[in-house]
Amino acid sequence: MPVVREFLLPDLGEGLTEAEIVRWLVGVGDVVAIDQPVVEVETAKAVVEVPCPYGGVVTARFGEEGESLDVGRPLITVAVGPRETPGDDTSGNVLVGYGTGAPAARRRRVRGAAVTAGVAVAAPAANGTRVDGPVAVISPLVRRIAKEHGVDLRSLAGSGPDGLILRADVERAAVKAPAPAPDAPRDSSRIPLRGMRGAVAEKLSRSRREIPDATCWVDADATELLAARAAMNAGATTKVSVLALLARICTAALGRFPEINATVDVERNEIVRLPAVHLGFAAQTERGLVVPVVRDAQARTVEGLSEEIGRLTEAARAGSLTPAELTGGTFTLNNYGVFGVDGSTPIINHPEAAMLGVGRIAPKPWVWEGELAVRQVVQLSFTFDHRVCDGGTAGGFLRFVADCVERPATLLRNV
């Protein structure tokens, strides 16, 4: 006889406690194989496909696209044959780049009531009259829709298993219920701050709250840098990007000014200088801004940096970055020049201590060798944590970077 197994949203690691359903990859009635991806979810770190540890027929799905689920909540149920029934009834799947922790909370049925994470949820009365006690609602989205339309969940009889109230139940009731007074003009729209957008908002807000930052900037003549890149790429199999050259300059500058490659331990009131440079770089994707991290950037050549930056950029656009590739940075390089702007005041990527911003490289009038000429000019902006260093150190770092941009031959000769 087939056995119905419940697959729970697994522990996603890195302290992540919830994920948003982006796209279901299977439907009720579909046959799935062991370790077949069944849903695509977005966490605060990345978008990943979640594989199911059971093989069989999908009998139920929990959650709709756009809905957030907590770790340990049910994703799907699968009717499996005796040969495919594991000895342990907990979800034990492992996602690439993630870990599994303790068994997540189980959800079971007891006497017609849904029990989730050990909390009983009573089903409402079938006649639609108001009932006391917990309401049979699992989905936060259903609760939100009910609140927006002024629907009393206690008056509903759910059409789901064991009287579970579904979105369709609320929407049917909303047609009959009077519309609540709007909180905003009718032509406005609201976009939830969640997933990667929410994570970016929280990190940037925390940076502004906690870090006393300051910014300095300088214009630099990047003509020789572009010439050096062209010479390196002439006939080369692996092409070097401008971002890779800037990354190599940053690692050299951090070698000269190691106090900047640091973080502040607020609890112990200490500055922690870090031995390795894990270089983050800002990458724009369809789902928003992400900051992949090049591990041990100080030990890589320009070619190696270019290859790794390229690999991480492609993974970011494909939504396949792992949490390990998005965390642990010690310094960030932000090339906003790709958007056609000259300058900016970067916000430090908390808990790092500094960020270098690079504007577009554009032809501008420049005094070169005592005469006015048209040169390729770039504006460099450097934002730093004033607790970690003072203006002299920050200015020295930025001046070293600018000098390398203007005269790269000395630096690049030994890489």
HEC string of 143-173 equals HHHHHHHCCCHHHCCCCCHHHCCCHHHHHHH
Average pLDDT of the chain to the nearest whole number: 82
Buried residues in 343-352 as b, exposed as e (16+ CB within 10 A): bbebbbbbbb
pLDDT for the residue 388: 97
Q: Model confidence over 20-43: pLDDT tens digits?
A: 888 899 998 889 999 899 998 887
| 301 alpha-carbon distance from chain centroid | 28
Q: Which two tokens stand for residue 275?
A: 């031995």
Q: How confident is the model at residue 125 (pLDDT cuts 50, 70, 90)?
A: very low
Q: Model confidence over 279-306: pLDDT tens digits?
A: 999 988 887 788 999 999 999 999 999 9
- Give the span between the Cα atoms of 60 and 80, in whole angstroms: 13
- Report how far apart, in Å, the C-alpha atoms of 264 and of each of 38, 211, 213 are: 41, 9, 13
Q: How confident is the model at residue 140 (pLDDT cuts 50, 70, 90)?
A: low
3.30.559.10, 3.30.200.20, 3.40.50.300, 2.120.10.80: CATH of 195-412: 3.30.559.10
Reference 169, options 177, 158, 154; nearest CA is 158
**Yes or no: domain 3-176 corresponds to CATH 2.40.50.100:** yes
Q: Report domain extents, the chain.
A: 3-176, 195-412
Share of the chain above pLDDT 90, in %: 51
> Annotated active-site positions, please?
386, 390
The more confident residue out of 273 and 317 is: 273
Q: Is the separation of the CB atoms in 161 and 6 below 8 Å?
A: no
pLDDT for the residue 101: 38
Backbone angles phi, psi at 194, to 5 degrees: -145, 175
The yes-or-no verdict on residue 313 having pLDDT over 70 is yes
Q: If you search the block for the tokens 């994470």, which residue do you land on?
A: 117
- Partners of 114 in beta bridges: 109, 121
Mean per-residue pLDDT, 104-132 = 37
Q: Model confidence over 190-239: pLDDT tens digits?
A: 888 877 778 788 888 999 999 999 999 999 999 999 999 999 999 888 89
pLDDT for the residue 184: 54
Using DSSP bridges, classify how beta strands 270-273 and 288-290 pair: parallel, antiparallel or unpaired.
Answer: unpaired
